[in-house]
Structure 1
Amino acid sequence: MSGLRLFIGLLFGLVSLGVQAERLKDLVSIQGVRTNQLVGYGLVVGLNGTGDQTTQTPFTIQTFKNMLAQFDIQLPTNIGTIQLKNVAAVSIHADLPPFAKPGQVIDITVSSIGNAKSLRGGSLLMTPLRGIDGNVYAIAQGNLVVGGFDAGGADGSRITVNVPSAGRIPSGATVERPVPSGFEQGSSLVLNLNRPDFTTAKNIVDQINDLLGPGVAQALDGGSIRVSAPANVNQRVDYLSVLENLEVAPGQAVAKVIINSRTGTIVIGQNVRVQPAAVTHGSLTVTISEDTTVSQPNPLSGGQTAVVPRSRVQAEQEARPMFKFAPGVTLDEIVRAVNQVGAAPGDLMAILEALKQAGALQADLIVI
């Protein structure tokens, strides 16, 4: 309970600060200015016998033969089954940031798609990375950095730490083609709120218009705002530099109670309210014990000595007081009332769910 009270105390400290103004760049993103996902397929070589078992992964052999064919190397048809213990087929994925230009480098993640035990010590051969449109936007190659490892003994014992079948290559891909963003086109830009909210959208529009004049910003809906922008690209960059540093007070979030039933984590939002309700919480413990006694007959009775079971059933109910919620109870009062009866996080989940079912909890109850 001390940990729960400490968490609630910290939460109250944050709530007491009220709504703080945030930079516009933390609240919105610019339409068209976004990352793009890239994916590729290639080979990792140089493994220490931890590569694919090619009898079970024929695509590794096929890829290996295709690579050799590019260097005019043809394998004999009667070579039989090839075992490439030092080679693994892998998938590569990366995020292409906005405004990335040819020659710049990005980080990539390499993951085994066969049955390779470990990619530690391997090198990725040159692999094209494609976008959703099928075009090549980057070329990947380099030595892997693998955080996990896998080791085994001759008797079959094995130990694995973390995930050795995946790794990263910092700056492992070079951008070959830019992605058009449309940033320099048109006479306006659209700002998309990271969390759509009508109050936040109104505050942003008011803040921009107060700075630059009426009509510069217009709310399209609760999640988008159109802002007039200069036609010159250099001026547009300076213009957005000023806008993104504006301090805007965001609207308060919808009242929510988040429950993680697996970990027992409960997060209660600031605007959660409870209608009039009375709650009692307790626990009933039933204990059943089995004892045995020896039944001894009277002398000369002709009876026989026997073992007789004796059962004891005890029921104990922990006394917990009933507490009452008045109209419009706040987060502080909810937790104080629950702490008074000593409810653990698991019990608090049951109380909140019961309040929601009774229609007394004025918040969205979300179980994750």
Structure 2
Amino acid sequence: MNSSIRRRSLNCTCAVLGLVLIALPVSAQQIAPSPQITGGQFAAGQSGLVAPPSLPPPAITVRDICRVKGQERNSLEGIGLVVGLNGTGDTDPATVAMLARLTQSLGGSIGTNAQGFPNVADVAQAANVASVVVSVELPPSGAQQGDLLDCEVNAISASSLAGGRLIAAYMLGPRTDQPQIYAISRGRISMPDADTPTSGVIYKGCKMETNVMNGFFAEDTVTLILDADNASFSNAASVEQAINEINGDASLDSDLGSSESYIEAQAIDQMHIEVKIPPVYKGREVDFIALLMEQPLSNLKNRKVVTINERRGIVVVGEDVVISPVAINHKSLSIEVTGNRPGFVGLDLENPKQARPRLKNLQDALNALDVPTKDVIDIILTLHKHGQLFGEIRRL
């Protein structure tokens, strides 16, 4: 591309983001404090550009950050045999014994030993069979008889499960003292990750044989549990306040406003909020919980988190993560986070009082300029290492 055309293209991109970057022959990454910088904008060079304001975020409700106690995910586990492998199975004694019993139970021709058990020697040379662990995760709402769920299959000793089919595996609950069969898994194994041939998935391969119901209240109390990422004393207090403000608002429910409809919520700690079910909602607990979960929340304190997956090249930056005014030199880029000076307009137009710039604005600008993700990650990690990034770094 012609260099003048390239420069025009970069300038157009920067105009949208309010960022100017200039190429400098810098050999090493440096980050230095910039004491004269106080505003929330990014600039480099001699000219400033205006960034458009962002739209306000949608309203957050109790449902977005809380779940009802009792509505948890549960898992079922089982041991099974996979057949049809292309010589990648295993000949472990446990696998051979399982195959012998299966052959006998299905009416296959197999000898018996002196004790009357299937003769494992008859199937000891099978190379296309493997023993596996099968698992399925039940949704928080539970599962009904006849539901078909995806199940995961993992080899115990086989080198690959590619091309295999799972013979019926009985799925048991998490309590070993209650070995009830909840479901049966079977079917052709799909390999979503070619780099891990010892793990696979059977889509809709687990059929529920009984109902699994999850309760959602105890006596006259519903307990709301904040998600781990949102658990804090301030957020628990905000949920308590939002629910208690329902009282007397007949626009939400015609039954509200009477003494028997009084709703009392109390935050127990930074994660749990207990809510008494009013007498008027006896037998209508579903309606009551629906009312609670749709209440809007304000004054939430979001955790300032940056999530990085270096292997997959993924960076997720929270809106509230801010950085100090700094000057950054990284490879061929020179970036300055600058304050309100003539010719410059801050990026954080929806919050002009914010003293610090947002990391997400910098990330968006770097992405628009096709800066490699690895370099973006290097810049973010160095900002954090030097105390210029105010938030938590999570590396996956």
| TM tier, smaller | 0.5 to 0.7
Q: Which amino acid aligns with 1:201?
A: A
The match for 1:246 is 295
Structure 1 residues 125 and 275: CA distance shift in structure 2, 3 A: closer
Following superposition, the deviation at residue 40 of structure 1 comes to 0.8
Q: CA deviation at 1:249?
A: 4.0
Whether the 8 Å contact between 2:69 and 2:217 is mirrored in structure 1 is no
Q: Which residue of 2 aligns with 1:62?
A: 97
Residue 166 of structure 2 is aligned to residue 166 of structure 1: no
Matched, 1:328 2:376: no
Distance 1:281 1:209 in 2: 52
Find the partner of 1:26 among 51, 60, 64. Answer: 64
Cα RMSD for the two superposed structures:
4.4
Identity percentage of aligned residues: 21
Give the SS at the match of 2:206.
strand
Check whether the contact 1:27–1:193 (CA below 8 A) recurs between aligned residues: yes
- Among candidates 170, 175, 186, match of residue 132 of structure 1: 175
| Greater RCO (CA < 8 Å, at least 6 residues apart) | 2
The 3-state SS of whatever aligns with 1:168 is strand
Asked whether the equivalents of residues 338 and 348 of structure 1 are also in contact (C-alpha less than 8 Å), the reply is no
Partner of 1:296: none
Distance 1:361 1:148, change over 3 A: closer
Bigger CA radius of gyration: 1
Q: Could you say which residue in structure 2 is the equivalent of 1:361?
A: 389
Q: Using the TM superposition, give the Cα deviation of residue 226 of structure 1 relative to its aligned residue in structure 2, in angstroms.
A: 0.8
Deviations 1:43-62 (A, max 9, x none): 245x27657342xx221111
One-letter amino acid matched to 2:204: P
Q: Distance in 2 between matches of 1:193 and 1:88?
A: 42
With structure 1 as the length reference, what TM-score do the two structures score?
0.66
Give the alignment's TM-score, normalised by structure 2. 0.62
* Inter-partner Cα distance in structure 1 for 2:165 and 2:288: 47
**Deviations for 1:70-110, whole angstroms, at most 9, x for unmatched residues?**
68975246884632345432221112345647734342333
Q: Say which of 93, 105, 115 aligns to 2:135.
A: 93
Give the 3-state SS of the residue equivalent to 1:234 in structure 2. Answer: coil
Contact 1:138 1:174 in 2 (8 A): no
1:36 pairs with 2:78: no
> Kindly tell me: are residues 259 and 193 of structure 1, through their superposed partners in 2, closer, same or farther at Cα, counting changes over 3 Å?
same
Partner residue, 2:247: 212
User: What is the 5 A alignment of 1:129-278?
Assistant: 129-141=172-184, 143-148=186-191, 163=197, 166-168=200-202, 170=204, 172-176=206-210, 178=212, 181-194=214-227, 195-212=230-247, 216-230=264-278, 234-249=283-298, 251-262=300-311, 264-277=313-326
Decide whether the 8 Å contact of 1:37 with 1:96 is kept in 2: yes
Q: Does the CA contact (< 8 Å) of 2:73 and 2:139 recur in 1? A: yes
CA distance in 1, matches of 2:159, 2:377: 44
Q: Per the alignment, do residues 187 and 253 of structure 1 end up closer, same or farther by CA in structure 2, a change over 3 Å counting?
A: same
Q: Deviations over 1:96-154 (max 9, x none)?
A: 345647734342333332326446463523524232344234354464133349xxxxx
Aligned length: 311
Indicate if the aligned counterparts of 1:123 and 1:141 stay in contact, CA closer than 8 A: no
Q: 1:163 to 1:263 in 2, by over 3 A?
A: closer
- 1:338/1:176 CA distance change after superposition, 3 Å: closer
Query: CA separation of 1:211/1:95 partners in 2, compared to 1, >3 Å: closer, same or farther?
Result: same
Letter in 1 for 2:89: D
**Cα distance change of structure 1 residues 330 and 176 upon mapping to structure 2, 3 Å threshold:** same
> What residue ranges of structure 1 are gaps of 5+ in the alignment?
150-159, 284-317
Alignment of 1:111 onto 2:139: no
CA gap of 1:116–1:162, structure 2 versus 1, over 3 A, is closer
- Alpha carbons of 1:199 and 1:91: their partners in 2 closer, same or farther (altered >3 Å)? same
Change (3 A) 1:103 1:258: closer
